[in-house]
């Protein structure tokens, strides 16, 4: 398996002023028809230990993972809605709509999101575009018309999303929103024109939803549709499809409020519905959207044009007699937009003030506990900044869609402890074991009762180790990872602490991983400083310009790298056309080939190949239509096996690393081939290769702690260690820190065989 990771270029995007487009408008009196233009630029990557790596906006209780501007998503104009999908394998994907496009982004690794597929909305383009998911299908609507567009995500783990068409059932006029009841195979178009709720079934053909009826009492702006749970407080409606509808007359602006409607059961579905109760509130502007709390006792609704930073709390314990509770507010003047509830927390998208998180586990009383400002320019009222957030990924990853800045990938971090590693975390640990130091950063009023490391070796052997407080340094703990039973091997390890409040808090970024080996034997290392052994172009290449070259990066701002794979702006690597007199250096008219030197991967067991690659084709008028094919040969190029086809432009160097034997039989005649092509007119295609390495892992077959070499670790070895205590005896200094002490004693005891 190929393993990839990003060398992040943490660059804040630059503003690009765009002319307003004459796209379809929303419901009457919709205030957000003229947002500020989008901020185009590169992907911004965060650090796994916090937001310091990338985002300049205010934040508390969040970890910034990444931000993908609209242009990097393959769209243009502003961003709008988002939703999520988890494939059967557990991989997580965000779906984001934009004025002109819809994009799918894998966020399984939230710090390394990958844009997989972009659909251009064409004639149905609109500022408004909304999406929901039922099964393996995504359903998209908008104010630009076109009914319901369907996308098949059943092969998304292989990077494939397929547009399957558009239903013609009940016309193709606009929709303002879409809601769903996945358990009942139902979707509903909200609003659009003067419509209420138009229901569609996906049961018989998920690619072509069929119209089954409508609720027409009022215009419906948005809807929270559920199968009322068996644990719900109103026993009359358990198992029924209940709609909480933000609605009104005259496009929702007259008699605006919240209707609760019974649509029957999944087996006895009634799309016309029965009104159970309706709630309005004083000084209302426009009833916008709502969500229920976890136990269905309170509904949390919002008003888009009045009562800013305020939520209407509606008692829904009796669905036939819903009543207005006490409004809940936070400081500030931002307008409300969408909000959702998960695990006792309200996640609210409040335009210019970003995503706000409130504890809603205490009935109708809510308290703000975290926030992330996606729009640092202003916190005033107005219709810029965040549109939506999706907090339902099992991993805890949160995605947010933003008018100006596209897609945000975030994590919530409300723990009173932060874990840090002053000596760093090892990527390779010796087979004899090693010491790891952990620091605890604590909020005021907390202290560490105990800290534990949990470890698991891939070849067998797992356990837990209590940390030892380090004298003289408060809240610092030392751990000794024990010797491995096998080498080479892999080990995963993570940390957790019990604090003075009695609660256990794990390091949210763990567990971590490392290779178990005692050294690395490098068989070949090519860093771009020389062309010796490389072939730049072969017979049969068809590119008319942009052929492979080698030299210092140029950073022309047209998709080519500004640094080499090692992060140097004056470093050398292999690039497609390096012409200091011409910034138009991309591949044109065909493909160009780069061949590596022939190398020996059979000289050592378990040889590993790694390289860094750069690919970008987003700068032209026909973005995301080309590719780079990377192949491997074990017969010096007589035959080739495809390793990967690169189509995603991530704006940074990507490290690819894999054991040779996992893809092909290792020989002494190995070679790599990199073919990048301009296969569609209008594309700007740039590629690079750097830091190709062939290496193997070495293991010391001696037994850690066996000081007398008798094949066992026992009392005799303990006596030898104590005899040289406090010296720099090389044999007894098991952790190689220059002195024989408790750290070495810990390693010896951990390896004890008796």
Residues of the chain with pLDDT > 70: what percent?
93
| Among candidate residues 102, 190, 109, 222, the one with its CA nearest the CA of residue 153 | 102
Please compute the mean of the pLDDT values over residues 292-307 and round it to a whole number. 97
Surface-to-core class of residue 527, CB atoms within 10 Å of its CB (0-12 exposed, 13-18 middle, 19+ buried): middle
| Among candidate residues 208, 189, 207, 191, the one with its CA nearest the CA of residue 199 | 189
Q: How far apart are CA 521 and CA 299, in angstroms?
A: 62
Contact 535, 672 (CB under 8 A): no
| Predicted pLDDT at 383 | 92
* Same fold: 3-412 with 417-517: no
Residue 437 Ramachandran class (φ > 0 left, ψ -120 to 50 alpha, else beta): beta
The mean pLDDT of the chain is 90
The domain at 417-517 falls in which architecture?
A: Sandwich (2.60)
CATH among 2.160.20.60, 2.130.10.10, 1.20.1560.10, 1.10.260.40 for 3-412: 2.130.10.10
| Predicted pLDDT at 392 | 98
- The model carries a pTM of 0.62
| Among candidate residues 573, 544, 596, 534, the one with its CA nearest the CA of residue 687 | 573
Contact 45, 111 (CB under 8 A): yes
Q: Is the pLDDT of residue 217 over 60?
A: yes
Please compute the mean of the pLDDT values over residues 112-119 and round it to a whole number. 95
The CATH class, in words, for 522-698 is mainly beta
More confident residue, 439 or 560: 439
Q: Is the pLDDT of residue 2 over 70?
A: no
Bridge partners for 228 per DSSP: none
Q: Is the pLDDT of residue 276 over 70?
A: yes
Q: Is the pLDDT of residue 30 over 70?
A: no
Q: Is the pLDDT of residue 27 over 90?
A: no
Determine which helix (DSSP H) or strand (DSSP E) holds 717, and give its type and residue range: helix 715-723
Among all chains, which residue has been given the structure tokens 């243009």? 76
Contact 348, 339 (CB under 8 A): yes
Q: Measure the CA angle with vertex 240, ends 236 and 246; round to 5°.
A: 105
pLDDT interval class at 519 (50, 70, 90)? confident
- What CATH number has the domain spanning 706-754? 1.10.1330.10
Q: Is the pLDDT of residue 47 over 80?
A: no
Dihedral of the alpha carbons of 728, 731, 737, 739, in degrees to the nearest 10: -30
| Predicted pLDDT at 34 | 66
More confident residue, 579 or 62: 62
SS3 label, residue 715: helix
Q: Which range among 43-57, 549-563, 599-613, 661-675 shows the weakest confidence by mean pLDDT? A: 43-57
| Predicted pLDDT at 31 | 60
pLDDT interval class at 400 (50, 70, 90)? very high
> Residues 6 or more apart from 72 whose CB is under 8 A from it?
41, 42, 43, 115, 406, 618, 649, 651
Please compute the mean of the pLDDT values over residues 203-223 and round it to a whole number. 96
Please compute the mean of the pLDDT values over residues 192-216 and round it to a whole number. 95
SS3 assignment for 83-140: EEEECCCCCEEEEEEECCEEEEEECCCCCCCEEEEEEECHHHCECCEEEEEECCEEEE
| Predicted pLDDT at 381 | 92
| Predicted pLDDT at 710 | 85
Q: What is the largest CA-CA distance in the chain?
A: 91
Q: Measure the CA angle with vertex 149, ends 31 and 198; round to 5°.
A: 65
Bridge partners for 492 per DSSP: 456, 513
Residues of the chain with pLDDT > 90: what percent?
70
- pLDDT tens digits, one per residue of 225-258: 999 999 999 999 999 999 999 999 999 999 999 9
Domain ranges of the chain: 3-412, 417-517, 522-698, 706-754
| Predicted pLDDT at 572 | 94
More confident residue, 404 or 6: 404
Q: Is the pLDDT of residue 24 over 90?
A: no
Q: Which residues of 579-595 are buried (b: 16+ CB within 10 A; e: fewer)?
A: eeeeeebbbbebbbbbb
Q: How far apart are CA 211 and CA 141, in angstroms?
A: 15
3-state helix, strand, coil in the chain (%, to 5): 5, 45, 50
Q: How far apart are CA 697 and CA 402, in angstroms?
A: 46
pLDDT interval class at 681 (50, 70, 90)? confident
pLDDT interval class at 639 (50, 70, 90)? very high
Please compute the mean of the pLDDT values over residues 474-502 and round it to a whole number. 93
- pLDDT tens digits, one per residue of 162-178: 999 999 787 767 899 99
Q: Is the pLDDT of residue 741 over 80?
A: yes
Q: How far apart are CA 568 and CA 564, in angstroms?
A: 5
Token pair of 730, please? 């090389």
Q: Is the pLDDT of residue 600 over 80?
A: yes
């Amino acid at each position: 398996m190929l393993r990839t990771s990003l060398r992040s270029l943490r660059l804040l995007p630059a503003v690009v002023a765009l002319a307003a487009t004459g796209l379809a408008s929303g419901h009457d009196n919709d205030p957000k028809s003229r947002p500020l233009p989008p901020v185009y630029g590169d992907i911004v990557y965060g650090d796994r230990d916090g937001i310091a790596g990338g985002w300049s906006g205010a934040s508390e209780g969040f970890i910034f993972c990444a931000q993908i501007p609209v242009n990097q998503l393959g769209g243009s104009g502003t961003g709008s809605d988002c939703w999520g999908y988890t494939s059967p394998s557990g991989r997580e994907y965000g779906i984001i709509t934009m004025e002109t496009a819809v994009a799918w982004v894998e966020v399984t690794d939230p710090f390394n999101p990958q844009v997989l597929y972009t659909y251009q909305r064409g004639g149905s383009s609109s500022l408004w575009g909304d999406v929901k998911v039922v099964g393996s299908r995504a359903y998209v609507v908008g104010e630009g018309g076109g009914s319901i567009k369907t996308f098949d995500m059943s092969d998304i783990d292989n990077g494939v999303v397929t547009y399957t068409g558009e239903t013609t059932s009940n016309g193709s006029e606009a929709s303002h929103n879409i809601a769903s009841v996945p358990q009942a195979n139902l979707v509903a178009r909200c609003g659009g024109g003067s419509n209420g709720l138009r229901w569609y079934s996906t049961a018989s053909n998920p690619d072509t939803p069929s119209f089954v009826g409508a609720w027409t009492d009022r215009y419906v702006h948005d809807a929270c549709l559920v199968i009322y749970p068996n644990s719900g407080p109103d026993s009359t409606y358990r198992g029924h499809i209940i709609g909480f509808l933000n609605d009104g007359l005259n496009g929702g602006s007259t008699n605006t409020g919240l209707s609760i409607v019974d649509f029957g059961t999944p087996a006895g579905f009634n799309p016309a519905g029965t009104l159970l109760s309706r709630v309005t509130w004083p000084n209302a502007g426009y009833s916008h959207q709502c969500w229920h709390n976890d136990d269905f006792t309170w509904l949390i609704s919002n008003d888009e044009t009045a009562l800013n930073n305020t939520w209407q709390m509606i008692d829904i314990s009796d669905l036939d007699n819903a009543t207005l509770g006490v409004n809940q507010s936070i400081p500030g003047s931002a307008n409300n937009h969408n909000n959702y509830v998960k695990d006792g927390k309200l996640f609210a998208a409040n335009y210019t003030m970003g995503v706000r998180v409130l504890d809603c586990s205490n009935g109708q009383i809510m308290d703000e506990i975290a926030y992330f400002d996606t729009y640092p320019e202003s916190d005033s009222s107005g219709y810029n900044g965040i549109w939506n957030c999706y907090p339902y990924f099992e991993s805890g990853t949160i995605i947010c869609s933003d008018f100006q800045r596209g897609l945000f990938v975030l994590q919530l971090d409300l723990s009173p402890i932060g874990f840090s590693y002053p000596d760093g975390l090892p990527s390779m640990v010796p087979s004899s074991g090693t010491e790891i130091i952990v620091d605890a950063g604590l909020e005021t009023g907390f202290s560490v009762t105990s800290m534990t490391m949990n470890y698991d070796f891939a070849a067998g052997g797992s356990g837990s180790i209590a940390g030892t407080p380090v004298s003289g340094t408060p809240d610092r703990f030392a751990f000794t990872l024990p010797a491995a039973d096998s080498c080479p091997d892999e080990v995963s390890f993570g940390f957790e602490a019990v604090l003075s409040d009695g609660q256990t808090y794990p390091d949210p970024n763990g567990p971590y991983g490392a290779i178990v080996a005692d050294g690395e034997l490098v068989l070949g290392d090519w860093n771009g400083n020389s062309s010796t052994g490389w072939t730049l172009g072969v017979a049969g290449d068809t590119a008319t310009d942009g052929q492979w070259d080698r030299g210092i990066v140029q950073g022309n701002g047209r998709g080519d790298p500004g640094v080499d794979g090692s992060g140097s702006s004056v470093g050398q690597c292999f690039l497609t056309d390096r012409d200091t007199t011409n910034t138009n250096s991309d591949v044109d008219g065909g493909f160009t080939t780069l061949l590596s030197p022939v190398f020996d991967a059979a000289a050592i067991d378990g040889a590993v190949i790694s390289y860094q690659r750069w690919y970008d084709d987003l700068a032209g008028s026909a973005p995301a239509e080309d590719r780079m094919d990377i192949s491997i040969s074990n017969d010096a190029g007589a035959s080739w096996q495809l390793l990967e086809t690169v189509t995603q432009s991530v704006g940074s160097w990507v490290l690819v690393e894999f054991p040779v034997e996992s893809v092909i039989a290792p020989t002494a005649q190995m070679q790599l081939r990199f073919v990048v092509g301009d296969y569609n007119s209008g594309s700007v295609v740039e590629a690079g290769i750097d830091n190709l390495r062939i290496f193997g892992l070495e293991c010391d077959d001696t037994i850690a702690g066996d000081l007398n070499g008798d094949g066992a670790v026992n009392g005799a070895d303990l006596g030898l260690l104590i005899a040289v205590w406090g010296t720099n005896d090389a044999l007894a200094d098991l952790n190689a820190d220059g002195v024989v002490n408790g750290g070495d004693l810990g390693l010896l005891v951990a390896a004890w065989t008796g």
